[in-house]
Chains A and B, each alone.
Chain A
Amino acid sequence: MKTETIEVLKDRSSQIWEKGKDQKLACDRKSLAGSVTQRACAFCGSRVVLYPIADALHIVHGPIGCAAYNWDIRGALSSGPQLHRNSFSTDLAEKEVVFGGEKKLEASLLELIEYYKPRAAFVYSTCIVGLIGDDVEAICKSVGRKTGIDVIPVDSPGFKGTKKSGYQAACEAAFRLVGTGSTVGISKYSINLLGEFNIAGEAWMIREYFEKIGIQVVSTITGDGRVNDLRRCHGATLNLVQCSGSMTHLAKLLKDHYDIPFKRVSFFGFEDTARSLYTTVEYFNDPELTLRAEKLIHEEIAKYSAELKKYKKLLKGKKAALYVGGAFKAFSLVLALRNLGMKTVLAGTQTGSVEDYEQLKDICDEGTVIVDDSNPLELAKFVLEKDVDLFIGGVKERPIAFKLGVAFCDHNHERKTPLSGFEGMLHFAREVANSTLSPIWQFAPRRSQFNKSFSVPETISKT
């Protein structure tokens, strides 16, 4: 078989490590020009984090592309308003780039707010706005005064950095609403769930666990989000942070300003879901809550164990690669795959920190390759070298897997199946098994029993 050798760029080599080899870790860097990073920009980071706030108006101030590419892109569900699923943009034209876009922004906001009656508005700045010097803050203030709602600027020009700086801008923007609502009726056993985006209804599943145990969920930030929930979330006793990359900053703000402690959790896989529930009840230290949590966890695990065992038998020994946005998801995936009898041979994230990668190293097996801010060629290289059977990632990683005859599981924000909680683990197993064990791989050239392509035996073709 002819194989092209793929070389890693010299400037990127320190962002790739193998467990068992003593190498220094480098991460938390801006992406190398020309490397074809899988990361997006700061604007994208802000937009995805605030996107699920369903009763707010989200308007992108800039030329059309920035708004068009994320129209209804996330599978973040709302139980009520659907305003967030629209794409609003000032769609700047050349004359506005030259003479300024403030007038158009103000007119757009006034009209849209009058028409849709949102509870608040978020105004996202793009690269162009960062350059032409529009005073977005002033426009927001003035429109806020005229309309009587909070109009909040999100400082997110794409060049400001990677998604991570966008996350920070989103947290700052969301924090402007915190503390402006009444906290009446909030129980002492109450939490906020940060970094849970209600993809395919996952927040609803997790919320139900807490309600069964007797813990009030004041707000999920930002999944199935509402402006009023954000206003009163400072009344909660404890913050749970799931997507650590995007929401740790808001958790820190809530700690500094309102003295609310936070704990990192994950609701992916049996182990992590159970651990997160125990962590929460331990904090409240009420034996009744603990009893209810134990009961719930036992019942739920019993419900799905038999079917999971069946999948484990089928998947045992298969090798997996994963490349995801944040590190906490990566930890959970390594454990969940292990529960299915599978081995993670390649693990990477777009935005992990040094501590994240140390932890990832700890839980991975010897020989696992760990990559930071990787690109398609590197991912393809390790998929081939490690001969993986399954790739877990998002839409941009899917064709890398499929072209090489490798199964794929979508674990990005576009997924349509809930993968969180106990029930989610079953969905995950099912999805992994359905792709990995499909009969179609026998025809893929890399897997083919016919060895590459089909040809008619000479004896027949001659007749």
Chain B
Amino acid sequence: MKVLDEIKPAHNAPIPEAATRNACKVCSPLGAAMVFKGIQGCLPFLHGSQGCATYIRRYMISHFREPVDIASSSFSEDDAIFGGARNFEIGIDNVIQQYNPEVIGVATTCLSETIGDHMIGMIKDYQENHKTDGPPLVHVSTPAYTGTHSDGYREAIKAVAQHFAKPCKHKKPYLINVLPPMASCADLRYLREICRLYGLVPVMLPDYSSTLEGESWDQYNRISPGGTPVGRLEQMGSASGTLEIGHQPAYAKESAGAWLESAHRVRKETAGWPIGIRQSDHLMTSLSMLSGRTMPKEVEAERGRLVDAYVDGHKYISGKTAVVFGEPDLVISMAAFLSEIGIRPIICATGSKVKKWSEMLAPEIEDGVKDIHCMSGVDHAKIKAKIAELKPDLMVGSSKGFPISKEFNIPLLRVGFPIHDRFGAQRQLTMGYRGTQILFDQIVNMMMEVKQTRSEVGYSYI
């Protein structure tokens, strides 16, 4: 390739601070759309310009490789000036006609929030004007200028719980609500399985494990089969407990779990994203508290094999350093896991602006965060600068880290969202002893590969 001329950063110029360069986040309506995809028969609807829906569809399709239909009210210039009520009505009518959905999940966009469209009023008007048995319209407010995709995800969970949960005096002892972080389809299936092993029936919100990783079809399904049915969501108030997974909701002022506790007296248990032995132990303890049962034999055996693998593999990884980047919940747990296997997560970075980020990380990381760079609200340019300075041995995060991984020749373990340069992201298991085993093997193998390929000897045994 002929190089005609070069544009290279002027190294003496001050580092740009005002603009975001290669963001480590996307926008909140995407998170809401993910939650809506986890409800049976639900079609997500974004109130705003059609580009928002199209971009988010494309982005989710490149990760999940499944149909992702998201409707839009397709604002024009007039609607931006006079309000989007008319387009909202036409849009909802058309969605009902085409898709016959059981639920419509309405999320706002920057545009409709800024012009001040009164969503609740518009939904009420629509339902009053159409006195039919139309599908319920669940609404969540998701202007992108107030948060990231993970905020949109958590907000939507809360909005759906608040919309559907019915009060119930008599709690069902076996029924629990499970509110997972933005994890893979395989992780969601794992959570369901582990609950059942403890004799619990989970109401998963969301459960996109089938809608975003479905079977091959013999007919076209207007809405991908799967997801938690509305009937189940209505029972959230009668559950005996809520298992809310992820550190963020544990620190949030009012999470969905906290709301269920205060409004419906459903006891809340929290656990971090269960990666690693300590965090998985925490999950199992929570499940024991909710079920009154001890750890099932097969789970105990998985744990035992993982401990054995830690021992077998530790010499290949001990003393290595890593950078972890992505959504807060994943970064905290991944850093905790790395620290327990002897890899120092020297950079823990998230694109979300998290208050008390280092305080959240400190108790989870072995030996605390004194030597750790805890970066919140940062972009990939800032993460890259820190990587250039500290040269870690391993990168852990989404596909968005690839340009940095290539430039500095540091292997990248792809986890989280989005993964669009590798295959199978939707079935990547990270949770529990089983998921940890897979991650541990991957990390050991990556370090082995580095050792083997970077040595001139060509060792056959490592």
Contacts and interface: CB of A to CB of B under 8 A. Distances in A.
Interface string B75-88: 11101100000011
Nearest to B52: A65
B56 A63 contact: no
A108 B74 contact: no
Contacts of B453: none
Contacts of B79: 159
Contacts of B75: 127, 158-159
Interface in A73-91: 79-83, 85-91
Contacts of A398: 61, 65
B97 A94 contact: no
B408 to A, nearest CB: 16
B21 A92 contact: no
B91 interface: yes
Contacts of B19: 59, 88-91, 108, 111-112
A104 interface: yes
A442 B66 CA distance: 20
A381 B22 contact: no
Interface in B1-22: 1-10, 13-22
Contacts of B56: 65, 69
Interface stretch (A25-33, A170-178, A236-244): A25-33
Interface string A375-399: 1110011011000000000011011
Interface residues of B, number: 88
A404 interface: yes
A62 B110 contact: yes
B216 A445 contact: yes
A41 B48 CA distance: 11
B105 to A, nearest CB: 13
B51 A44 contact: yes
B23 A89 contact: yes
Contact of B25 (A40, A68, A70, A158): A68
Given A33-B74, A40-B54, A43-B51, A65 B29 contact: yes
Contacts of A376: 67, 69
Interface in B32-54: 45, 48-54
A34 B15 contact: no
B21 A158 contact: no
B192 interface: no
B94 interface: yes
A417 interface: no
B58 A395 contact: yes
A31 B50 CA distance: 9
Given A79-B1, A117-B10, A226-B4, A131 B111 contact: yes
Contacts of A30: 74, 76
A36 B70 contact: yes
Contacts of B175: none
A226 B3 CA distance: 12
A446 B10 contact: no
B222 A377 contact: yes
B459 interface: no
Interface of A: 1-4, 6-7, 9, 11, 30-44, 54-55, 59, 62-72, 79-83, 85-94, 96-97, 104, 107-108, 111-112, 114-119, 126-128, 130-132, 157-162, 226, 375-377, 380-381, 383-384, 395-396, 398-400, 402-405, 443-446, 452
23 contacts: A31-B74, A34-B74, A34-B90, A35-B71, A36-B53, A36-B70, A40-B50, A41-B51, A62-B110, A64-B20, A87-B22, A97-B143, A114-B13, A115-B9, A128-B110, A128-B111, A128-B114, A128-B145, A161-B77, A403-B214, A445-B216, A446-B217, A446-B219
The 5 closest A-B pairs by CB, nearest first: A41-B51, A65-B27, A34-B94, A34-B91, A33-B91
Interface of B: 1-10, 13-23, 25-27, 29-30, 45, 48-59, 61-62, 65-77, 79-80, 87-88, 90-95, 97-99, 109-111, 114-115, 143-146, 148, 214-222, 400, 403
